[in-house]
């Protein structure tokens, strides 16, 4: 499996996640372009990809 990068502001994330979750990840202190690897976020992306 190859990693890919997706912004939390991407339409895919906006469509298939909720505000509470996006706010949580945005509050994390991250360096610019640092990746987030979290099981819940990964599940949201996987579900969204299957729906598209």
Please check whether residue 25 lies inside any domain of the structure: yes
Mean pLDDT by 10 residues, the chain (52 residues): 73 79 76 77 78 66
Residue 13: what pLDDT? 76
Please check whether residue 32 lies inside any domain of the structure: yes
Tally of domains within the chain:
1
Please check whether residue 31 lies inside any domain of the structure: yes
- Report how far residue 50's alpha carbon sits from residue 34's, in angstroms, rounded to the nearest whole number: 25
Handedness of CA 38, 36, 28, 46 (dihedral sign): negative
Please check whether residue 19 lies inside any domain of the structure: yes
Please check whether residue 4 lies inside any domain of the structure: no
Please check whether residue 3 lies inside any domain of the structure: no
Residue 52: what pLDDT? 60
Please check whether residue 5 lies inside any domain of the structure: no
Residue 27: what pLDDT? 80
Give the tokens for residue 47.
């579900």
Region at 33 (left for phi over 0; alpha for psi -120 to 50; beta for the rest): left
Contact 45, 12 (CB under 8 A): yes
Residue 41: what pLDDT? 75
């Amino acid at each position: 499996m190859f990693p890919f990068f997706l912004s939390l502001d991407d339409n895919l994330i906006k469509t298939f996640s909720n505000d509470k979750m996006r706010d949580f990840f945005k509050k994390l202190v991250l360096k610019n372009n640092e990746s987030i690897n979290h099981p819940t976020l990964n599940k949201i992306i996987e579900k969204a990809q299957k729906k598209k």
